[in-house]
Amino acid sequence: MFGQTTVGTGGISSASSRVFRYEVVGLRQNEENDKNNYEIRRSGSVFVTVPYNRMNEEMQRITRMGG
């Protein structure tokens, strides 16, 4: 996991405007990866940015992909 950022102008951010950015290392090609709309970099490291409310779902998907 890399970190959390907010989108928009200052003030208190709501959960709907927060995003979380994962740095995924060690992905390997499998059936789950074939569904992606992006290629795995040669280094095996990919950054994935998701809305804060989908953080858990995305982590489960990353785990299924082997990251």
Domain that holds residue 51: 18-65
In a domain, 43, yes or no: yes
Q: Are 22 and 45 in contact (CB under 8 A)?
A: no
Quote the number of domains for the chain: 1
Pairwise CA distance, residues 7 & 19, whole Å: 7
Q: What is the pLDDT of residues 16-64, one digit of tens each?
A: 789 999 988 876 666 666 676 666 656 667 788 999 999 999 899 888 8
Pairwise CA distance, residues 24 & 3, whole Å: 12
pTM of the model: 0.55
In a domain, 25, yes or no: yes
